[in-house]
Amino acid sequence: MKKRIKQYLLAILLSPTILLAHQPVMDMAPRWEGGYGFQTRLESFSSNQLKQGTTEVSNPLGLRNEKTTLWLEGVYSFTREHRVSFKLPYTNHFKRVGDGGSTQDLRNEGMGDVIVGFLNKFYVNKKDYTGNISITPSLRLPTGATGGDISIGDGVVDFGLSVSASVESYGFYGMVDFFGWANSIESDGSRNGNSLGLDIDMGIHPYHDMKTNSGVFALMGLNSRIYSKSLNPGGFENQNSGSASIEMVPTLIWYKDNIMVRGQYHMPIYSDMNGSQLQPTSGIQFGVGIVFES
């Protein structure tokens, strides 16, 4: 019975993610000392719609931004309350940019900057539910390529912090996560925009088979992001950067024993862009994870 309870709890770990928010396959499990797990996650996003503020405008040059990333992620639990995780991306990026009526196609692919998180959880356990508050400082380390048409990494150490709260019962899961990233200035004076995010996830557990220890979770996420303006080389502010956006993220999870499969769809519902930029667009994610007892 104890093993079944542990395996059930593993299913809840696949809360919706992105973008650099709570640790995806790592957030809720493994929940015992010495437990560890891994996940691969594929995400794909593309955009070809120009926007000024909240108004869509024409895109006669066919400007585009396409990005596909394969993540390898892992977690290790020193204790139930303290864990360490990593997220290592491999990215394929294509951009069509325009200047003075002409266009240029830019491409690059390679290993990106690894993210290391230090999860600290404080639990509340009741008869019918359990909850926790998590504080997770993170570092993004300069392991990615900075050369080529498009930089895959930024060549500096960036700093992140997440504060989240979650509650769960046998049939329900909910989570609120507030987080931010402070990006360092690169050697040429440029800097990616800093960011703040708020993710709200709610889900139900409509099906669980005790005989096969398998089941399904259905979740809905509401993700909001604010990005400050970036700096161009030389330290000059990029007027066509910075934004605010909100998206809905329906998610479906299937699990069996210690294996989990997750699919989700990112659906933008609001965006406000500084200057003229390609707006956030819909995207998909697919992940497969497995956890172990030591």
pLDDT on residue 5: 39
CB 30 within 8 A of CB 46: no
Q: pLDDT averaged over consecutive 10-residue blocks of the chain (294 residues)?
A: 41 40 46 79 93 94 95 90 93 91 93 94 88 94 90 94 90 92 94 96 89 90 96 94 96 89 94 94 89 74
> In the structure encoding, which two tokens stand for residue 159, read together?
């700093």
Output the pLDDT for position 32. 60
Q: How many domains does the chain have?
A: 1
| CA 285/CA 17 separation, integer angstroms | 9
DSSP string, 183-240: PPPPTTS-BPPPEEEEEEEEEEEEEEETTTTEEEEEEEEEEEEEEPPPB-TTS-B-TT
> pTM value?
0.88
**Could you list the residue range(s) of the whole structural domain that residue 86 is in?**
2-292
**In this predicted structure, what is the pLDDT of residue 127?**
85
Q: What is the CATH number of the domain that holds 259?
A: 2.40.160.40
